Amino acid sequence: MIYKILNKGAFSMLEVMLEQGETIKAESGAMVAMSETFDIEGKLEGGLGKALARSFLSGEKMFFQTITASRGNGTILLAPGVLGDIQAIELNGEDYIIQKDGYFASTANIEVSTKVQGLIKGLFSGEGFFLLKAGGTGLLFVSSFGNIHELELKENEKMIIDNHHLVAWKSDMNYRIKKASKSVWSSLTSGEMLVTEFVGPGKVYIQSRNPSIMMANSGA
């Protein structure tokens, strides 16, 4: 499978070239255009039980698009539902945790499921008690609000990240939710209430824009 990320940035689109018999899956509604040799269908990832868990627990859509080059080679164009970037992550048997609405597409053998957070993390992370987990061997594509930037933390290196800017991170990384400042007044006046502290080694992907600020400014 060959891919390109077109117009990288706020208006990115994923172009995937599939050979006959190859398959890619994506979030529902992602297809923009495809070759006439392709077939597209909606599928419940992992069966009804896991699909219901993703929908009701993590707020993700129940169905994925599955696109197969059934009758010959061709090209498909996929785009996320919001303005933002697309990032490819190559998985070699490891798992990544993905924020709500962060999963965009993947090769067919990447399994997507839900992961339970602890009580404190679930209450204060802004993402709830359930997040998405993607694992296996293949390509994972995540999407964001704004541009995506990769942070690679070394052994025991710490990085503090605003919760609303998180996109994805390696599942074996240690992280904790904490106050942005020692005092409540400083947290309120700085606009940074709760943050997540990650400890390396591992990769964390962040987005350049904060969706909660956009919603507040639009009156939503």
pLDDT tens string 20-41: 999 999 998 999 999 999 999 9
Q: Where are the beta strands (DSSP E) in 19-121?
A: 23-27, 31-34, 39-44, 63-68, 74-78, 86-98, 103-107, 111-116
**DSSP secondary structure string for all residues of 67-86:** EE--SS-EEEEE--SSSB-E
Tokens coding 55? 């929908």
**DSSP designation for 59:** -
**In angstroms, how far is the first alpha carbon of the chain from the final one?**
40
197 - beta bridge partners?
160, 176
Closest CA to 203 of 168, 177, 176, 178: 168
The per-residue pLDDT for 180 is 65
Average confidence (pLDDT) over 172-184: 74
pLDDT of residue 213 exceeding 60, the answer is no
DSSP state of 128: -
What is the pLDDT at residue 25?
94
Burial of 107 (0-12, 13-18, 19+ CB in 10 A): buried
Of 67-76, 122-131, 192-201, the poorest mean pLDDT is in 122-131
Model confidence at 100, pLDDT cuts 50, 70, 90, reads: confident
Kindly report the CA angle at 103 between 99 and 107, in degrees rounded to 5? 145
Whole-number Cα distances in Å, 85 to 42, 80, 89, 144, 178: 24, 9, 13, 5, 28
For the cut 60, the answer to whether the pLDDT of residue 186 exceeds it is no
Which pair of structure tokens corresponds to residue 86? 């697309």
Distances from the Cα of 61 to the Cα of 19, 51, 196, angstroms: 28, 8, 26
